[in-house]
């Protein structure tokens, strides 16, 4: 496939008052923009090709209220995106001939499934290190409408773990190696009018050339994210650039007065004749008002792919400012043919957040010129009884819990996660560390290096336009500080810089010298440290961090992981440090572990990021500890997301502003002693304790922890109530618990 580089073109901008100075002149003669108007109800859905149609890309939510839309310019879009969720047949195991249309999938062993799907929803979470890793086959029929004639048809897989072979009507479209990124295949030549048979072989067996080779989490096999049927005009935004959007947005020279906007638009001419592509990139603010229009032309021979660079300016930009103000512009890229401007258009909508940031070895992280403490969590994507086969509702619930706790950042470990979750981070203002699954070990096979590079390229290109992502993670916990490992990390760090010079690379280090070679390659250094769990005691963390800062004074340091296990059903007062690989992980120890760590972390601004391991309990089938085999129980929230552990509320007391109060050890039931210590977390300065209706006392605390030692309990059921007050003495929040003795 030939690739043509286009010239950079200066384009129209906007007036200081926000009104547009020009609109794309060639998209539709006589059509004027309606920047503040609305049409319709925010999108349309329909059923087609046996699947679910995604919202009409012609209807762009205005962001100005109750789901109104701003119509785009020109004729209807020629792009459609249909989800293929229903109607799949699945077989767990190897099958000969399953890719052929004549194969009978009504045989014994085949079952009906919907996608997203994994075959490890149960056996990868129950312990024993014996879940099935191998092949699985998926088959689905659909009827191809005549409307696709003259267009290009792509099959898009948002992820398949970990090696996928895709066939259409018995014809092999290709193979993708890697379990976390999206991939696409051009299916046009293999299509038939009428019935079509899509067959996919997915295999999650370990292979020596695809990271991760091993890790402390379960590798759920299957088509665990959505499958799409994407139809575009013959002249279209490039869908074959590592499954990227084909549009790359960046800003520079950001000030209160203006921001320079740079757009790189990749165009593919899939027709049999030469074309001149007309490209328009329109920027609208959150109210739907056009603030910039960029346009240009790109000549392409038949079958050629080219890239067009467009420059413009946005006056008085409204910045994306993290949790404080996650403001987003909406960018619409529109593509038509110069010889037929009223014909099919390809239309794509992307987010734009304007921001700038820096990281300093002594003062830490700054966003838009102001210090911002990046504190938050690591997140694994799996769910109890579902594995990785989750949807938007589960992502929404995860985000709501992270936001409720008051996090300002999230490390999405240890692999590329769903684009929908990155969208949520954009909208909620969470700063993101996104990373590839280079975990534990490598092989010397050049194919392993190439696949590591491939996965990093896919992560960056597919996620490039998310303003929330500021850091590209190139690996985690390589166990051997040898020449091959250092060479690979160096190569990946250089690749990240060449792919995206606007962000910083980072690496999560553990298990070899803190000042050795491994943490030296990325732009930023981060460390996974577990004082008080895997080593030493939790009071040692602060001294370790200060010593490392002194030893590496110019390094920009972060704490990428710290945590302790906790069972909802196991309790101890006073808590003692448990055996990490034992079956007793009292909830109370996790709380004191995190109390000590945050007390040290909040006074060390040189740490640019502080990430708890983990937000949620998650599956690790090799583990047998705590009260649940097959689970890493370091989460602040239970695996099913139904129960917040006490440590969740400790961080909420420190990070969240909405008043609340929480009585700890509420699941410690029954109580076996006549007198107990009662501990409470709150972000208010005063708390009053009553037991069985009688006042115990009122306390003040600047540390968010309130303790009443030796409180007597009666035989039977005891009613405990805490009321928290503000500085003026007004009762703001209350919590109650019942304990029996």
Catalytic residue positions?
477
**Distance from C-alpha of 647 to C-alpha of 566, rounded to nearest angstrom:** 9
**Distance from C-alpha of 594 to C-alpha of 650, rounded to nearest angstrom:** 8
Please list the residues that pair with 238 across neighbouring strands: none
What one-character DSSP code corresponds to residue 440? S
Contact 472/506 with Cβ under 8 angstroms? Answer: yes
Contact 480/498 with Cβ under 8 angstroms? Answer: no
**Distance from C-alpha of 395 to C-alpha of 422, rounded to nearest angstrom:** 10
Supply the DSSP string of 510-545, one letter for each residue. Answer: -SS-TTSSGGGSSSEEEEE--BTTTBS-GGGHHHHH
Residues contacting 192, CB < 8 A, separation 6+: 144, 169
Structure tokens at 478: 């390589």
- Which backbone phi and psi does 655 adopt, to 5 degrees? -110, -20
| Cα 152 to chain centroid, rounded | 29
10 Å CB burial of residue 42 (0-12, 13-18, 19+) is middle
| CA nearest to 661, candidates 741, 581, 737, 598 | 737
Contact 27/336 with Cβ under 8 angstroms? Answer: yes
Question: Kind of pairing, strands 504-509 and 325-326?
Answer: unpaired
CB atoms within 10 A of CB 272: 8
Q: Coil, strand or helix: which one is 400?
A: helix
Q: Coil, strand or helix: which one is 641?
A: coil
Label each residue of 14-73 as H, E or C: ECCCCCECCCCCCCCCCCCCCCCCCCCCCCCCCEECCEEECCCCCEEECCCCCCCEEECC
Supply the DSSP string of 287-319, one letter for each residue. Answer: TS-EEEEEEEEEEE-TT-EEEEEEEEEEES---
| Cα 472 to chain centroid, rounded | 12
What Rg, from alpha-carbon coordinates, does the chain have?
27
| CA nearest to 602, candidates 563, 554, 545 | 545
Question: Kind of pairing, strands 409-412 and 275-284?
Answer: unpaired
Please list the residues that pair with 61 across neighbouring strands: 69
Q: Match 């002249």 to its residue by tokens.
A: 235
**Distance from C-alpha of 305 to C-alpha of 186, rounded to nearest angstrom:** 14
**Distance from C-alpha of 597 to C-alpha of 539, rounded to nearest angstrom:** 8
**Distance from C-alpha of 153 to C-alpha of 233, rounded to nearest angstrom:** 9
**Distance from C-alpha of 733 to C-alpha of 723, rounded to nearest angstrom:** 6
Supply the DSSP string of 247-278, one letter for each residue. Answer: EEEEEES--SSEEEEEEEEEEEE-SSS-EEEE
Question: Kind of pairing, strands 364-367 and 51-53?
Answer: unpaired
Question: Kind of pairing, strands 227-233 and 151-157?
Answer: antiparallel
């Amino acid at each position: 496939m030939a690739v043509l580089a286009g010239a950079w073109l200066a384009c129209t901008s906007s007036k200081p008052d926000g009104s547009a100075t020009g609109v794309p002149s060639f998209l539709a003669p006589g059509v004027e923009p309606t920047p503040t108007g609305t049409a319709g109800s925010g999108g349309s859905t329909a059923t087609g090709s046996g699947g679910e149609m995604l919202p009409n890309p012609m209807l762009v939510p205005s962001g100005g209220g109750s789901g109104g839309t701003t119509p785009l310019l020109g004729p209807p879009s020629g792009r459609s995106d249909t989800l293929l969720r229903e109607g799949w047949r699945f077989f767990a195991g190897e099958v000969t001939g399953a890719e052929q249309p004549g194969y009978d999938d009504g045989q014994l062993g085949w079952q009906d499934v919907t996608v997203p799907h994994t075959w490890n929803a149960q056996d990868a979470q129950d312990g024993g290190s014996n879940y099935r890793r191998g092949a699985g086959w998926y088959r689905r029929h659909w009827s191809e409408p005549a409307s696709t004639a003259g267009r290009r048809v792509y099959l898009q897989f948002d992820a398949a773990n970990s090696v996928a072979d895709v066939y259409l009507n018995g014809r092999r479209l290709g193979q993708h190696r890697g379990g976390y990124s999206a991939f696409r295949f051009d299916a046009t030549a293999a299509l038939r009018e009428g019935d079509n048979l899509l067959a996919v072989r997915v295999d999650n067996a370990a292979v020596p050339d695809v990271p991760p080779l091993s890790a402390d989490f379960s590798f759920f096999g299957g088509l665990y994210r959505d499958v799409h049927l994407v139809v575009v005009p013959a002249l279209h935004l490039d869908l074959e650039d590592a499954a990227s959007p084909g549009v790359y947005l960046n800003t520079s020279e950001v000030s209160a007065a203006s921001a320079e906007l740079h757009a790189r638009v990749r165009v593919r001419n899939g027709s049999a004749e030469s074309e001149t592509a007309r490209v328009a990139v329109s920027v609208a603010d959150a109210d739907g008002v056009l603030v910039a229009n960029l346009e240009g032309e790109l000549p392409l021979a038949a079958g050629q792919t080219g890239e067009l660079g467009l420059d413009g300016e946005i006056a008085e930009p409204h910045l994306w400012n993290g949790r404080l103000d996650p403001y987003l512009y909406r960018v619409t890229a529109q593509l038509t043919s110069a010889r037929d401007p009223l014909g099919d258009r390809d239309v794509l909508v992307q987010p734009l957040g304007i921001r700038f940031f820096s990281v300093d070895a002594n003062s830490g992280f700054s966003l838009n010129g102001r210090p911002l403490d990046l504190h938050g969590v690591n997140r694994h994507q799996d769910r109890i009884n579902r594995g990785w086969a989750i949807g938007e509702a589960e992502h929404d619930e995860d985000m709501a819990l992270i936001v409720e706790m008051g996090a300002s950042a999230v490390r999405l470990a240890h692999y590329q996660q769903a684009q929908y979750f990155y969208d949520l981070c954009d909208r909620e203002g969470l700063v993101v560390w996104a990373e590839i699954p280079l975990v534990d070990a490598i092989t010397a096979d050049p194919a392993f290096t190439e696949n590591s590079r491939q996965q990093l390229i896919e992560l960056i290109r597919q996620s490039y336009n998310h303003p929330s992502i500021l850091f590209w993670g190139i690996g985690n916990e390589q166990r051997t500080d040898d020449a091959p490992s250092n060479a690979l990390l160096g190569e990946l760090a250089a690749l990240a810089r060449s792919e995206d010079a606007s962000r910083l690379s980072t690496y999560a280090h553990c298990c070899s010298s803190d000042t050795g070679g491994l943490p030296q390659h990325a732009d930023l250094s981060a460390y996974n440290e577990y004082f008080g769990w895997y080593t030493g005691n939790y009071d040692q963390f602060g001294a370790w961090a200060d010593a490392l800062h002194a030893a590496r004074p110019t390094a920009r340091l972060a704490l990428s992981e710290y945590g302790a296990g906790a069972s909802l059903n196991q309790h101890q007062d006073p808590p003692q440090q448990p055996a990490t690989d034992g079956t007793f992980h009292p909830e109370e120890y996790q709380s004191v572990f995190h109390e000590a760590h945050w007390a040290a972390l909040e006074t060390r601004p040189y740490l640019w990021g502080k990430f708890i391991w983990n937000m949620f309990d998650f599956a690790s089938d090799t583990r047998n500890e705590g009260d649940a085999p097959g689970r890493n129980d370091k989460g602040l929230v239970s695996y099913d997301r139904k129960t917040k552990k006490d440590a969740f509320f400790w961080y909420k007391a420190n990070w969240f502003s909405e008043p609340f109060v929480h009585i700890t050890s509420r699941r410690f039931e029954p109580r076996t002693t006549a007198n107990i210590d009662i501990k409470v977390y709150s972000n208010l300065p005063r708390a009053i304790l009553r037991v069985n209706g009688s006042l115990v006392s009122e306390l003040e605390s600047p540390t968010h922890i309130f303790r009443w030692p030796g409180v007597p309990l009666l035989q039977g059921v005891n009613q405990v109530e805490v009321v928290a007050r503000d500085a003026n003495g007004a009762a703001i929040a209350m919590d109650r618990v019942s304990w029996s003795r």
